[in-house]
Structures are given as C-alpha cells and as structure tokens.
Amino acid sequence: MENTTRTPLPMATTGCACCAPAPDSGAEQEAPAGDPRPAGASEYRVEGMTCGHCVASVLEEISALDGVTAVDVDLVAGEVSTVTVTGPVSSDTVHSAIQDAGYTPSI
C-alpha cells in the first residue's frame, strides 16, 4: 500500500446548519414543466446545506414523515440545494422537517 497525504477539504465560509442553523423562512418551489420527477413528487429548495452530514440530517427528518416514500437531495454546497420528496405529504410538514433538521427552505 502506498503512503499518500490527503489534502483537507476547504471549510465553508458561512458554516453549515450542522453547526449553526440559519434563520427560518421560505416556501416550496414548483418544478419546471416537463420535469422528470416521479408522480406525486414535490421539489423544495433548501439553504445552508454544505456536506454529506447536512444531507443525512435532512434525509432522516423527511424520511420519518408519514406518507413519504422517497427523498432525493441534490446538494449544491454553500448554495441552494434541491430536495425532492415523493409521497402524499403537505409542504408545511416538509418545511417543518427541513427546519427541524436545522436548515432553511428557500423562497
């Protein structure tokens, strides 16, 4: 096995909600026409996610909701990420779960 030195990943300048939750606000975003989302899926834009731990926190909170059959996260570190939720669950309930995980649904 070869010895290699790993370069550490750069830290996000604003931190992430794992350490410092952002203030809450936001609303559900509609997907553009022709979007290949599964039937019954809703898309949410989420601010404050920067890493895999952030994704895991959001997945855990939303997956625990009654009626959720699938959750997919498209992480854009330090920017606005997209969370797609499939199943008969209200947007208010999903927003609450996102906030409970420590993140901000984006307008």
Q: Is residue 22 part of a domain?
A: no
Percent of the chain with pLDDT over 70: 63
pLDDT for 68 beyond 90: yes
The CATH number given to whatever domain includes residue 52 is 3.30.70.100
pLDDT for 55 beyond 90: yes
Q: Is residue 14 part of a domain?
A: no
Taking CA atoms, 47 is separated from 1, 8, 16, 42, in Å, by 41, 24, 9, 17
Q: Is residue 86 part of a domain?
A: yes
Q: Is residue 28 part of a domain?
A: no
> How does residue 92 score in pLDDT terms, banded at 50, 70 and 90?
very high
Q: Is residue 57 part of a domain?
A: yes
Domain range for 45: 41-105
DSSP 89: -
* Domains contained in the chain, number: 1
Q: Is residue 53 part of a domain?
A: yes
The string of pLDDT tens digits covering residues 14-40 is 555 555 544 444 444 444 444 454 567
Q: Would you say the pTM of this structure is higher than 0.85? A: no
Longest dimension (CA), the chain: 52
